[in-house]
Amino acid sequence: MFALCDKLIQKNKLKPHRKVFSNYTFSCFDEIANLPETEWNEATDKHNIFLSYSYLHAIHQQQSETFRFRYVIVYNNKKPIGVVYFQINDFSASLFGDIVAKQITELKSKRASIFQRYIEQNEDETVMRLVTCGNNFISGEHGFYLNINSKKITFKIIESIIDCVSRAEKLRGKISAILVKDFYEEGFGDKDCWYCTRFVHFNVEPNMIVDLPKNLTTVSDYLALFSKKYRNRAKHILQASAPLTKKRLTITDIIKLSDALYALYLQVYHQAKFKLAQIEKDYFKTVAEKFSSDFFIDAWFKDNELVSFASGFYLANEIEAHYIGFDYSQNREFELYQTILYSYIEEAIITKKECINLGRTASEIKTTVGAKPHELLCYIKPQNTVSKLILKPFMQFLQPSEWVPRNPFKEGEIQELIL
């Protein structure tokens, strides 16, 4: 099967309806403008907003010489039945060196020392190419969707397409890897699926999700489920942010506040452990225009100065927390970050959603507002011996930090209410 892929790629890597097996074929596109929108929409069937043509069109504007995208439509008898989405990152020596510097210095290896010297001498050169099946802007299972009942057939198709696309990107002979993200273990994160593929699994920071009990009408109802200690803590947070003015931003507001929003986003972005994908300044405007009823930005002001904001998507039964930003210098005084967390909860209660996906990072703080961790797995495959050596510290760098889970609820009460 893969030998067939090689021949086809040599002939024309973007040739339409390349055969996978049986009646299954796929077409690959490197530009959103060339992607047949009708076929993509038919294939996704509104299954996932983050695989929708509209959303991918919005983030395609983030493309650069070192950050590119590939779009794959899967067909059965030439009928669109699924999609696969790739992001391709080229890492400069300086960026990759910053990521793995500590881990490399701990490796007692001649090859590791040679690589470290190479990084120091070639800061601006590309030293690693990472092909990701999935979306580095958001966490979760947003790499593919196939309308096929058989998990075995789905995996066979995905495996073949990943191999074909990676070969088309000429990964062999370079320091490179294929990353497939993010999976819950009970789905396609099942290790048995990847057992014979030379992919290595590793854990990343868990998704933090708040499940809301039924029949809540206010945040006060939610806080009433907390133990006294955490209820008092929540009240302190809400009192600290009381001097601030909260506003739901319109498109006009977003355009007017574009610089301020982006500056606060960057404050949070630069605190991140791993900076794989940075949005451009017009991102919020673009997404707000494309998803006028499904996307929101709430902002907090102190004396007409923007000090924090939180964005999110309305999904069928949940709110998906998206990018946030806040002024770290005022965070402690006004409890800006935790106010944002409670704001998401309040919005979900008002809009009658069942849960809030708060995403990764700051896991311990998120448990203090009632979030529970949902473990995520990623799979990665180095393309040669040198890649394998370098990816070991890279994976160690991505391992979750140790943290202590908290339980703010009165013992046993939240489980009964949710059930």
Q: What is the CATH number of the domain that holds 248?
A: 3.40.630.30
pLDDT of residue 29: 94
The answer to whether 255 and 284 are in contact (CB under 8 A) is: no
Quick check: 102 pLDDT over 60?
A: no
Same domain for 344 and 282: yes
Q: How many domains does the chain have?
A: 2
Same domain for 224 and 194: no
User: Residue 22 CB: number of other CB atoms within 10 A?
Assistant: 11
Average pLDDT over residues 255-281: 90
The answer to whether 376 and 348 are in contact (CB under 8 A) is: no
- Least confident residue range of 11-25, 112-126, 176-190: 112-126
Same domain for 379 and 311: no
Quick check: 53 pLDDT over 50?
A: yes
Same domain for 260 and 180: no
Could you tell me which residue, 56 or 398, shows the higher pLDDT?
56
**Over the chain, what is the mean pLDDT?**
85
pLDDT digits (tens, 9 = 90+) for 287-305: 999 999 999 999 999 999 9
pLDDT band at 66 (very low <50, low <70, confident <90, very high): confident
Average pLDDT over residues 168-196: 72
Same domain for 386 and 339: no
pLDDT band at 7 (very low <50, low <70, confident <90, very high): very low
pLDDT of residue 47: 85
Same domain for 174 and 311: no
Q: Which secondary-structure segment (H or E) carries 332?
A: helix 328-334
Quick check: 85 pLDDT over 90?
A: yes
Same domain for 232 and 192: no
Same domain for 88 and 191: yes
pLDDT band at 6 (very low <50, low <70, confident <90, very high): very low
Domain annotation covers residue 15: yes
Same domain for 289 and 197: no
In this structure, the strands spanning 355-357 and 318-326 are parallel
Domain annotation covers residue 363: no
Domain annotation covers residue 138: yes
Quick check: 212 pLDDT over 90?
A: yes
Quick check: 225 pLDDT over 70?
A: yes
Domain annotation covers residue 406: no
The answer to whether 44 and 52 are in contact (CB under 8 A) is: yes
Same domain for 119 and 62: yes
Terminal Cα distance for the chain, rounded? 48
pLDDT of residue 46: 83
**Domain that includes residue 85, residue range:** 2-204+375-398
